A and B are shown apart, each in its own frame.
Chain A
Amino acid sequence: MSLKIQALTRSIWVYHLATGSCNNCDIEILDCITPRFDLERFGIQLVGSPCHADALLVTGNMTTKNIPRVKAVYEQVPKPNVIIAIGTCALDHGMFDGSYTSRVKVDDILPVDFYVPGCPPKPEGMIAAVAKLIAQLRQ
């Protein structure tokens, strides 16, 4: 395991990127860091700038107007990093499939490593995803 990957799995700082979501997944992500679930126990922290992030949490169905912004944010994230697509919209547009503003999926734009389905996924589901991700990175 390279030093960079080893460092990546220690305490993951996440940046949350909403690409035209309905806020459901977004408040559930926030919920993960509040006292009931308290992910900060494990050093997982939401950061305000993509430059500080180890992981990107992408929600929403990637509306056309957001694409250049998403690319700009991704370019600022230090590599190596992990990208987690959260929610059904980020997987395959879900309910919004066929909309004139959602022509591309999140994984057409970003190299997604992990998918967490659900509308919205429960905080437990997201935490399980992060745990599995760390286990996989360590292999």
Chain B
Amino acid sequence: MVLTWLVAGCIKSGGLAVADQRPIAVVAVVDAANAADTADAPERFDAAVVDAARARGLVPTVHDHTELVATLTARRETTLRIAPLRAELPTGPILLVETRPAYYAEMAGQYRWIVGVTVTLVDEGDAAVLSERFDVPVFLRYHHQRETDAVDASRGVVARHVGELVDTWLGAGG
């Protein structure tokens, strides 16, 4: 009893709302300025997003970007991507994580990048959409580390934002 009370208290104090093993589709992409096509996010980035969702009782499934590449490349704005995504993934909620890495400058021996991120949660149906847009500055040690490394380096901060967005959604009865 005491243990249960402690665990429940911890969950409450951490602000985690918990879903009951609800499936959710995860689509995480990189929109690099110098690339013609939208690309998949790095594996560790996907894993961090999945972990954040899984910690809240969701059952995330990462969707292979290759089956969506034409849809996503043709539409670089979030609002234009939701309807075709829903058409490709007709059931269940969708977690769309879009990243836009951009080189900033070399500063005191590190290469500063800014990863612009938009996290969008599309509930079942078309109406309910939660979205948050933010920038994550990251610092890469070497010049050969480029867009993919920048997105990878942002994964910790992005996962935290994903968790907060999912909390908001679940807290509102999502």
A binds B: no
Interface residues in chain A, defined as those with a beta carbon under 8 Å from any beta carbon in chain B? none
